[in-house]
Chains A and B, each alone.
Chain A
Amino acid sequence: MSTAAMNRNPPQAADSSSPVLSLIDITKKFPGVVALNQVSFDVRAGEVHALLGENGAGKSTLMKVLAGKHQPNGGKIILAGEEKSFENPKQAKKSGIVLIHQEQSLVPEMSVAENIFLGSLPLKWGNRVDWKKLHADSTEILERLKCTFSSRDMVSNLSIAKKQMVEIARALVFTPRIVVFDEPTASLTDHEKPVLYDIIRNLQEQGVGIVYISHRMDEIFHLSQRISVLRDGEYNGTLNTADTSEDEVTKLMIGRTLELDHASKPKDFGENMLELRNLTVNGVFEDVSFNVRKGEIVGMYGLVGAGRSEVAETIFGLRKPSGGEILLDGKVESIRSSHDAVLEGIALVPEDRKDQGLILGMNCRDNMTLSALGSVSSMGFMKTGEEKVVYDKYQQAMKIKTPSWRQKVGNLSGGNQQKIVIGKWLHTHPKLLILDEPTRGIDVGSKAEIHALIKELARSGYAVLVISSEMPEVLGVSNRIIAMYDGRVTAEFDGDAVSEDKLVQAITGQYVTDASGPVPAASA
């Protein structure tokens, strides 16, 4: 695990006596489904309590019950010794329970101050907003968070990290007793995470209880004092972070030990499948040169915003290059649209599965054949029998769990959805497979399956480019690693030999002087 930039000394719980918040035997039923079955969970003052579980285990539902978004069918919420029931999020907020969302929940065309006090703007008589008080109070909160921007700035002009700060500032409006962070680092870069950690520690010192939901083990071990695990809507035990290991937690989550198999990477490489020469898109990235060979997995590592996805989109014909060349199989190609790219044998598994990868309202089969409709139709008419054959083939090969091909993909879990996207592209018989954040938001079990699948595909001859911001993923699958920083390729590493320090330096713009640093591009 990449704990290079972190130490593993979580601050001791300030108060280990009675919990400030207890959820007792919470049950939440949706028609036909028991989402939570008698789950109990508590948080002490000044403690970071991590909540873990695979997708669909019930973490989000539990937190929505806590924050008043859902009303439980059974069980009790006890806050500071008092039994509470929240009918809406505002009531929960007023009692000091704040949920910081995974998604950006800001209003773009409003000022920072208005966003911080969203839903509780200070008013004077006649429903008028008290601007003086609003900005004074906001500025005070922003100062506490050591933010550098003004309360009058428009949110749409802020960077993602600053927007996250506004979300956190919002949590401090009512003196919070409990703050729930739901995957707070999903949109933050490694660079920005320490700021978040400082804030969490700061809150801890003020005696705030913190619930921390994340898929990332390193963060959880770095921050938390206790870890609770949910599985299939049931409480599955609580561990003291100091006395446990990642393996033990994982076992509790999925019922088996996870092993990232670093040794099974592909080894036989062929000719250059993809070669970029000084590829540039003005204002986005410049002078990007690297290559991917047949049978090879190249990892592309960098911070969010470094230009990685944009490079992939340019190769896939979605952006117009303003300079440089793209060579496929040794020939210079001009790819003007995603349609061209598919004809050239390029496949892109996009970063945002739900918005870019799938038609959620369509069934599994139709999604699977969408990129190669020509192969399952004749004279423009669909041959549904052949479609079914294609679907069955990939469904079995990738062990996609779904009751039927008629199931809408919107109803599948993240891992199974991702497999459908991958299946869709495999059916186009591509020569080059680009995967952008292939395991983002996917539970640990499916993650390992997808990693194994990627390696298997490369061994069978595909040229694979994996874009990721997770270091274990890049290290685990890549033969070579391209590091990007601020729209440029800063270094290229051997995937088996590089150290974590060097990778971090390369993607944060620190020059690598070490002789064993960047290796020259394999064929440039």
Chain B
Amino acid sequence: MINMKDFLKGSGVIQPIWVFVIVITVFFSFMSEYFLSIGNLSNILVQTSTIGLIALGMTYVMINGNIDLSVGAVLGLAASLSVGLQDYGITIAVIAALTSGLVLGAINGLIVWKTGVNAFIVTLGAMIGVRGLIFVYTEEQSFYATNFAFSDFGTSSIGPIPVLAIIFLICTLVMHLVLKKTGHGRNTFAVGGNPEAALDAGIRIGRHMMINFIIVGFFAALAGVLLATQMGAATPNLGRDYELWTITAVVLGGTKLTGGFGSITGTLGGVLAIGILRNGMNLMQVPAFYVLVILGVILISVLIIDQRLNVHASKGVSI
């Protein structure tokens, strides 16, 4: 048997969130025959891909010791741009949408870097402001995709697996490898775990922070574009509250708000847990708002377990 404490702390081989994912999968497969069908499983993957893509970037930002509250708004802007600019061709529209994410991420990163102000404040401002940008751009109108190639993409699949799910899984794999194997990934950990030491060691803290904000901006924009292809439309309020869902998923996956600890595999587990809960309860015809309560309770439980373990391990006075 694996060491129980290591396991629960997430430093063991298996992450606790994955055990949770397995448990609810088994539970729902007993509750609904349809749950384990290929169709439903790929459905879950498509449903989670939006939050999932943002969560990949958010994991980097949070391991780095920051947070980004503006992802929902960035998603909304990218979705609107990708639909609204289709008169100039789909390619240009999508490029413009993705670029908006990169630019907004760079702005957030630059401000956090240059002012040293808490990322929470900076991105809170961006969250409000970018939503303003969407409204100014769309003038409160929803946009509908007139080019069917765009909306067909969102519903297409290769074999039995939807394209969106494939994109999400490939991105997950790449981000996992980058975090584990590259200099940037390792330095992200170093900056989050001990910024002072990283600075002394000559690691360019600001540069890594900025890159991570650009990454999360890009993924939020990508999620926005893909969501727009799924719906064939973009509304100005698209993406509201997504920052909360994303942060919830990342924290469920074991990434610490204080920085220096976390993983993409954990985040994938967190995202899937939320997706499966929503999907499963939907199949059981439980109203959607019960999921909100359950998620809140789970999030707090995770926090309690994590804290109990750490208090016990450190033998310190808990203040």
Q: Indicate whether A184 reaches chain B with its CB closer than 8 angstroms.
A: no
Q: In the complex, what's the smallest C-beta–C-beta distance from B63 to chain A, in angstroms?
A: 9
8 extra A-B contacts, CB within 8 A, seeds A69-B200, A109-B189: A103-B196, A107-B193, A107-B260, A109-B260, A110-B193, A119-B202, A129-B183, A318-B317
Q: Are B202 and A120 within 8 A (Cβ)?
A: yes
Contact with B along A108-140 (1 / 0, CB 8 A): 111000100011110100111100000000000
Q: A residues 436-455 with Cβ under 8 Å of B?
A: none
Q: Indicate whether A494 reaches chain B with its CB closer than 8 angstroms.
A: no
Q: Measured between alpha carbons, how far is A295 from B6 in the docked complex, in Å?
A: 49
A-B pairs, top 4 by smallest CB distance, nearest first, are A90-B202, A119-B201, A107-B193, A105-B197
Would A119 and B182 be within 8 Å (CB), given that A110-B193, A283-B315 are in contact? no
Q: Are B186 and A109 within 8 A (Cβ)?
A: no
Q: Indicate whether B198 reaches chain A with its CB closer than 8 angstroms.
A: yes
Interface size of A in residues (CB-CB distance below 8 Å): 31
Interface size of B in residues (CB-CB distance below 8 Å): 23
Would A129 and B261 be within 8 Å (CB), given that A118-B203, A119-B198 are in contact? no
The interface residues of chain B lying within 8 Å CB-to-CB of A128 are 181-183
Q: Indicate whether A388 reaches chain B with its CB closer than 8 angstroms.
A: no
Contact with A along B176-193 (1 / 0, CB 8 A): 000001111011011001
Would A105 and B200 be within 8 Å (CB), given that A126-B182, A129-B182, A284-B315 are in contact? yes
Q: Are B186 and A121 within 8 A (Cβ)?
A: yes
Q: Indicate whether B194 reaches chain A with its CB closer than 8 angstroms.
A: yes
Would A118 and B197 be within 8 Å (CB), given that A90-B202, A107-B190, A109-B261 are in contact? yes
Q: Are A127 and B261 within 8 A (Cβ)?
A: no
Q: Measured between alpha carbons, how far is A106 from B183 in the docked complex, in Å?
A: 17
Contact with B along A150-164 (1 / 0, CB 8 A): 000010000000000
Q: Are B200 and A127 within 8 A (Cβ)?
A: no
17 contacts between A and B (CB under 8 A): A89-B199, A89-B200, A90-B202, A93-B201, A107-B193, A107-B194, A108-B193, A109-B260, A110-B190, A118-B198, A119-B198, A123-B183, A127-B182, A129-B186, A283-B315, A284-B315, A318-B317
Q: In the complex, what's the smallest C-beta–C-beta distance from B104 to chain A, in angstroms?
A: 24
The interface residues of chain B lying within 8 Å CB-to-CB of A129 are 181-183, 186
Which secondary structure dominates chain B's binding surface? Answer: helix
The interface residues of chain B lying within 8 Å CB-to-CB of A108 are 193-194, 260
Which secondary structure dominates chain A's binding surface? Answer: loop
The interface residues of chain A lying within 8 Å CB-to-CB of B186 are 110, 114, 121, 129
Q: Indicate whether A500 reaches chain B with its CB closer than 8 angstroms.
A: no
The interface residues of chain B lying within 8 Å CB-to-CB of A91 are 202
A309 to chain B: closest residue by CB: B317
Would A109 and B202 be within 8 Å (CB), given that A127-B182, A129-B181 are in contact? no
The interface residues of chain A lying within 8 Å CB-to-CB of B196 are 103, 105
Q: A residues 275-290 with Cβ under 8 Å of B?
A: 283-284
Q: In the complex, what's the smallest C-beta–C-beta distance from B257 to chain A, in angstroms?
A: 14
The interface residues of chain A lying within 8 Å CB-to-CB of B184 are 127
A118 to chain B: closest residue by CB: B201
Q: Measured between alpha carbons, how far is A284 from B312 in the docked complex, in Å?
A: 12
Q: Are A118 and B181 within 8 A (Cβ)?
A: no
Q: Measured between alpha carbons, how far is A107 from B189 in the docked complex, in Å?
A: 8
Would A120 and B201 be within 8 Å (CB), given that A105-B194, A109-B260, A110-B186 are in contact? yes
The interface residues of chain B lying within 8 Å CB-to-CB of A103 are 196
A69 to chain B: closest residue by CB: B200
Q: In the complex, what's the smallest C-beta–C-beta distance from B308 to chain A, in angstroms?
A: 15
The interface residues of chain A lying within 8 Å CB-to-CB of B317 are 313, 318-319
Q: Indicate whether A407 reaches chain B with its CB closer than 8 angstroms.
A: no
Q: Measured between alpha carbons, how far is A91 from B181 in the docked complex, in Å?
A: 26
Q: Measured between alpha carbons, how far is A119 from B315 in the docked complex, in Å?
A: 32
The interface residues of chain A lying within 8 Å CB-to-CB of B197 are 105-107, 118
Q: Indicate whether A354 reaches chain B with its CB closer than 8 angstroms.
A: no
Q: Measured between alpha carbons, how far is A53 from B199 in the docked complex, in Å?
A: 27
Q: In the complex, what's the smallest C-beta–C-beta distance from B256 to chain A, in angstroms?
A: 9
Q: Are B202 and A106 within 8 A (Cβ)?
A: no
Q: Measured between alpha carbons, how far is A128 from B179 in the docked complex, in Å?
A: 10
Would A110 and B315 be within 8 Å (CB), given that A105-B196, A118-B201, A128-B181 are in contact? no
Q: A residues 79-102 with Cβ under 8 Å of B?
A: 88-91, 93, 99, 101
Q: Measured between alpha carbons, how far is A114 from B281 in the docked complex, in Å?
A: 44
Q: Are B183 and A121 within 8 A (Cβ)?
A: yes
Q: Measured between alpha carbons, how far is A121 from B198 in the docked complex, in Å?
A: 12
Q: Measured between alpha carbons, how far is A89 from B201 in the docked complex, in Å?
A: 7
The interface residues of chain A lying within 8 Å CB-to-CB of B199 are 89
Q: B residues 190-248 with Cβ under 8 Å of A?
A: 190, 193-194, 196-203
